Amino acid sequence: MDVMPLLPRLHLLRFPVGQAYLWRDGDELTLIDAGPAGSGAAIAGAVAALGRAAGAVRRVVLTHFHEDHAGGAGELAELTGAEVMAHRLEAPVVRGEVPGPPPVFEDWERPLHEQAARLLPKGDFTRPARVTELSDGDVLGFGGGATVLHVPGHTDGSVALHLPCHGVLFTGDTVAASPLDGRVMPGVFNLDRDRTVAAFRRLADLDTEVACFGHGDPVTGRAAEVLRRAARAHDTPPD
């Protein structure tokens, strides 16, 4: 796992597949996503390397249930005592009570998914004992007030988090940056591609300076312009 500073309050944690973000408010830390299974100890080690005790991680907010984002949440909660949070539609999947629906792949996505799957740990993973359920419009107690945005499409209960006081947006997998050329685009491996594109447009309407994606390099300046330009590229031309 690589740890990269983005802002004085914000670090990127990059895994072989996917990434998470660590936000700091004074001595209190919030993790957005938790990496794949087995990541809990590595995240706790990164927190220690930043000069914080493991218990400083107060909450883990999951953007969706996919293993590369939620796999480390249960382990990290056991290590830190952090509260795990997810949208109410994702929480039963995160807890392991029901299976999550698989993506509806476009043909070109299948080899990419197979490649990513080979990098993920095999088998099930530690599930958090409790998951606090979130809804659209909830405001969480970090970053000066983090607004929960329900953005279905990648999964039914995908969420983004907007920190308007800081101009920071965490998009989850609704938005991605291409590893080839950095191009910002709707995420892949979606349950419903059309709803993902609609959610992308909703996020592009926000006033955002920094946009943090589930995959690919963040945009660390004038992110709203980048997102809006990318959203226009997916507008349907009039008949």
Displacement of CA 3 from its chain's centroid (Å): 16
**Cβ 72 vs Cβ 37: under 8 Å:** yes
- Helices and strands in the chain: count of H runs, count of E runs: 7, 14
Per-residue pLDDT at 233: 86
What is the CATH number assigned to the segment(s) 2-232? 3.60.15.10
Residue 132's H or E segment, with its range, is strand 132-134
Per-residue pLDDT at 149: 98
**Cβ 61 vs Cβ 140: under 8 Å:** yes
| Domain positions in the chain | 2-232
Per-residue pLDDT at 235: 67
**Cβ 199 vs Cβ 157: under 8 Å:** no
pLDDT < 70 stretches in the chain: 235-239
**Cβ 229 vs Cβ 205: under 8 Å:** no
Per-residue pLDDT at 164: 98
Per-residue pLDDT at 237: 46
Q: For residue 168, which of 218, 224, 138, 208 has the smallest C-alpha distance?
A: 208
DSSP assignment, residue 99? P
Per-residue pLDDT at 238: 41
pTM of the model: 0.95
